């Protein structure tokens, strides 16, 4: 039964995705310009590390290539939220206008249907850049390669992505109660810029915040330690997959709770 249900949702998503991509390809100039802009932004981040490390051989014990590894790790881990959950940015508009009520009448999971309506294909450029950065840093650090190491990398990247997805889901869902929820969503999105740095460079107060209150440390720092520092892996690194899954489940429940309280009259 579950297998049939998963197959049903997969077929639905495939059809929705095809229609969304067709509509985006009808505006190719916008797609090309946006993709170039995203690539330039990522290159700027790459260059900033290069400039920084021309003056400092290391930052709090982190070398240039280790920092690049964190940067690439963060880019890859935040790609799913950009590709698959970009519609969260429009949630407040649908809620305030009353258009969100139409999603309540679909005979499928409300969260799935709403999020699947938009796929940000520009995120694939970011994914490619992030993977390239990871491979380059990996080779320079000489981490070696094994099937087990690759499997760890995939698992921790996937679960790390759930952290950013969770933060965005929760922030977006506040629009069911807060009128100016955009500022909260934008603030949470900007926090991702701190994920590319090891939290050890921050003071103890921010370390606590970025670990337990706004857990961006789990987007790159803690999970990447499993690969970068295999001889000294803290407990929080091993707990990263559990934290990611738990926060995603909580954010999903919060999002659905807000949607269940929506009456169609706006907020």
Mean pLDDT in each 10-residue stretch from start to end of the chain (267 residues)? 70 83 69 71 73 73 89 94 94 92 87 92 86 93 91 95 97 93 93 90 93 94 94 94 97 96 67
Q: What does each C-alpha distance from 260 to 88, 96, 105, 191 come to in angstroms?
A: 16, 15, 12, 28
pLDDT the model gives residue 267: 43
**Which residues contact residue 254 at a Cβ distance below 8 angstroms, ignoring those fewer than 6 apart?**
169, 170, 173
pLDDT the model gives residue 56: 72
pLDDT the model gives residue 265: 59
pLDDT the model gives residue 27: 66
pLDDT the model gives residue 64: 86
pLDDT the model gives residue 266: 45
**DSSP string for residues in 23-65:** HHHTTHHHHHHHHHHHHHHHHHHHHHHHHHHHH-SEETTEEHH
pLDDT the model gives residue 87: 95
CA 77 to chain centre: 5
């Amino acid at each position: 039964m579950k297998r049939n249900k998963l197959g049903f949702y997969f077929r639905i998503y495939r059809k929705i995705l095809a229609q969304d991509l067709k509509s985006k390809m009808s505006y190719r100039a916008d797609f090309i310009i946006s993709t170039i802009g995203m690539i330039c932004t990522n290159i700027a981040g790459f260059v900033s590390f290069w400039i920084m490390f021309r003056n400092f051989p290391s930052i709090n014990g982190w070398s240039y290539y280790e920092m690049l590894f964190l940067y690439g790790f963060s880019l890859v881990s935040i790609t799913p939220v950009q590709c698959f959950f970009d519609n969260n940015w429009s949630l407040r508009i649908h809620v305030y206008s009353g258009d969100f009520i139409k999603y309540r009448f679909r005979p499928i999971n409300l969260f799935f249907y709403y999020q699947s309506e938009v796929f940000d294909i520009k995120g694939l450029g970011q994914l490619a850049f992030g993977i390239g950065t990871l491979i380059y840093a990996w080779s320079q650090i000489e981490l070696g390669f094994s099937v087990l190491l690759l499997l760890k990398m995939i698992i921790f990247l996937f679960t790390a992505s759930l952290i950013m997805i969770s933060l965005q889901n929760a922030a977006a869902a506040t629009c069911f109660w807060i009128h100016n929820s955009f500022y909260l969503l934008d603030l949470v999105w900007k926090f991702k810029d701190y994920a590319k740095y090891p939290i050890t460079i921050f003071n103890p107060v921010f370390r606590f915040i970025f670990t337990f209150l706004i857990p961006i440390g789990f987007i790159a720092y803690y999970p990447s330690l499993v690969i970068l520092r295999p001889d000294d892996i803290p407990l929080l690194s091993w707990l990263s997959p559990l934290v990611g899954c738990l926060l995603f489940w909580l954010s999903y429940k919060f999002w659905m709770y807000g949607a269940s309280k929506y009456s169609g009259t706006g907020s």
